[in-house]
Amino acid sequence: MSISPPPRSPATTPGASTIAVHAGEARQKPGDAITDAVFLASTYTFADTAAILAFLEESVEREEYGRYGNPGERVVERKLAALEGGEEAVLFASGMAALVGLLMARLNAGDEVIFFDECYHRSREFCGKHLTRFGVGFKQVATGDYDAMEAAITPATKMLVSESPTNPHLSCIDVERFADIGRRHGVATLIDATLCTPFNLRPLEAGVDFVLHSATKYLGGHNDLLAGVVIGGEEMLGPVRKLRGIMGGIGSPHTAYLLERGLKTLPLRMERHNANGLAVARFLEDHPRVERVYYPGLESHPYHEVATRTMRGCGGLVTFLLKDADWQETAAVIDAVRIPRIGPSLGGVESLIEQPMVMSYWNYSPEDRRSFGIPDNMIRIACGIEDAEDLVADLGQALSATPAATAGG
């Protein structure tokens, strides 16, 4: 699936790749280098007392102490805000740190937050086990059930949260409808858009208040950094930035450098991720050993219409179920692949593959796994940027080489 963006005027609206390469950066940089410098400083000095007062009273833009920011980090934040079409971005040490920072800044005792139930299980765990200890209410409703979400809203509700697409089921949210619910009830809305990236979907344009990314994934793109970001309006993110300075959930200068470098190729990489994901999904859908494929670019996916209407592409993550397989037979297929590495995460140039039941839910009870929709025969492949023909051939040999296949399973 590929949706062409609307026509634009190059003179007024830069394209995604131009924004990714140039946004947020000064044209001339320290040392006249084409790349931004890495500032390995924990503290920043002032020439005199007048300079301190200018910083404190006149809001002169500069750094003071490393926990509050870094010049390289500011560049990355501006670039991320431009990519999403937001006013401001606040960078954190990880995606979870970004979520925690946003919720802690926005919610007080007596408030409540409502999640769609396919959101990342650690995000829901933080709310259900930790925010509740401080008197913040937590509710979950079925993903995509907008009537249930609206019915769950009370005067105490202060935040609606969803991912789009979700992981690993790849359910897609109608972000305009989601944003409208929040707007009509005066409730802030958050979309975790890690799986789609701003190349495939820009929720702020649909009226969503906050967009969150685990920048560890597609934004960094090389499996070599941990970072997270929240993007939205400048005024609404002011308290989030201040709380980050107190909590200290800030990344390193080197991480900011790696993220800036990764972002420059984001649109190019996403084109390949989109193409590879669709090619692999189509191959798996036609394979006799595959029971079901979760990929919204396929017409068989229940959220195909929403994805086609709202997204440029569907990314590189593909989830599928092996037909009549137990967890050991499923593990054997994963062990037989030769190109994807076995591991968690997604969005890097290297393909990764995992069995969610083992990798992320091994210590959960069978009942809990069923409630999360994680069967024993589920496989998740995060397609990298290798040649699609090679990924398809590798999956084909793995499905053919394992014992269940040779036994006619």
Give the catalytic positions in this structure.
67, 120, 192, 217
Structure tokens at 379: 């496989």
Other beta carbons within 10 Å of 408: 5
Question: What 3-state DSSP class applies to 135?
Answer: coil
Cα–Cα distance, 206 to 218 (Å, whole number)? 22
Rounded CA-CA distance 75/256 in Å is 9
Contacts of 389 (CB under 8 A, 6+ apart): none
d(CA 11, CA 75): 23
DSSP string covering 12-70: TS--HHHHHHHTT--SS-GGG-SSPPP---SB---SSHHHHHHHHHS------BGGG--
Q: Encoding tokens for residue 384?
A: 């990298």
Residue 35: what residue type? T
Nearest to 175, CA basis, from 149, 203, 156: 203
Residues recorded for the chain = 409
Segments in 46-193 forming alpha helices (H): 49-57, 71-84, 95-106, 121-125, 146-152, 175-185
Taking alpha carbons only, the member of 201, 191, 140, 139 closest to residue 163 is: 191
DSSP-derived pairing of the beta strands 378-382 and 317-322 = antiparallel
Instruction: Tell me if the bond preceding 168 is cis, omega within 30° of 0.
Output: yes
Distance of CA 245 to the CA centre of its chain: 23
Residues sharing a CB contact under 8 Å with residue 49, sequence separation 6 or more, in sequence order: none
